[in-house]
Amino acid sequence: MQITKTPLNQVNPQSQAELISYVDPSLTDALNPALIFVPGGSYTHIDFKQSEKVALRFLSLGFQVSILRYSFVDEVQPLFPAPLLETAQAIATTKQNAAQWHVDRQKVMLMGFSVGGHVVANYNNLWSSDWLQAQTHLSAEDLKPATTILGYPVITPFDGFPDQPTLAQWTNNPDEIAADQHVTADNAPTFIWATTDDQLVSSKNAVDYFLALQAHQVPTELHLYHHGPHGMALADETTAYDERHQDSRIADWIANALAFLREL
């Protein structure tokens, strides 16, 4: 396995943002799908140990995988739009290295958990916008994700998370980052999963985004599991912080997501 780190701080030089790519040289018989994983962490940190375990699981499933380490609030304030621009750079970097990394340029997808889901959902709304193309000097084709996967995502800042002091660090205009309010028909197909008793990020976030995608006839699938805490990740012993974060039924979200992708 080859690990490549690409700095993504062209817009914000004070940021430590980077794309960490895990490339399996054995996946050379054909062009492979690529997955860019955007972890959670409240925009203050990323659990790299857990994130790498998630990335390696998808590498084992035939994806060339990268982890996006986006800007944090102690590096850029207000934080937005920095993570969106970094996501754009991450997708463009993956496509630019498609030949070297044995990646199918038409199958570069995004996956975000928690606030990583917030980044991915908002990016999915904006990838085709004139604003993002002007900001990045990239074409819509360079910026386009094939599909997105969202796990227990933050979608709107108006549903209990975050609190107002934290939100002020994120943005000067909360309406702009309420992802359920800015869906378009250009959004990429999206698979969403969450737990109904998540005490940190209400599952209403996932439901509202699903309904917004449905209203614009974007292919989407939503799985709501009855019980489970925030941050379940793979929902097995690989990523579990404790026994509460293990549930074999929820761990099936990966198989369900792959089945959704195959249907597209």
- pLDDT at position 29 is 65
Other CB atoms within 10 A of residue 237 CB:
10
Residues with Cβ within 8 Å of residue 106, at least 6 apart in sequence:
146
Do residues 191 and 148 make contact, with C-beta atoms less than 8 angstroms apart? yes
Q: What is the pLDDT along the chain (264 residues), one digit of tens a residue?
A: 899 999 997 777 889 999 999 988 887 667 999 999 999 999 999 999 999 999 999 999 999 999 999 999 999 999 999 999 999 999 999 999 999 999 999 999 999 999 999 999 999 999 999 999 999 999 999 999 999 999 999 999 999 999 999 999 999 999 999 999 999 999 999 999 999 999 999 999 999 999 999 999 999 999 999 999 999 999 999 999 999 999 999 999 999 999 999 999
- pLDDT at position 37 is 98
For the chain, the first-to-last Cα distance in angstroms comes to 29
Helices and strands, counts by H and E, the chain: 10, 8
> CA-CA distance, 193 to 151, in Å (whole number)?
5
Provide CATH code, domain 1-261: 3.40.50.1820
Which residue type, as a one-letter code, is found at position 160?
A: G
- pLDDT at position 40 is 98
- pLDDT at position 28 is 65
Beta bridge partners of 225: 195
Per-residue b/e over 16-34, b at no fewer than 16 CB within 10 Å? ebbbbbbbbeebeeebbbb
For helices 82-96 and 115-126, give the axis angle rounded to 10 degrees: 70
> CA-CA distance, 2 to 9, in Å (whole number)?
22
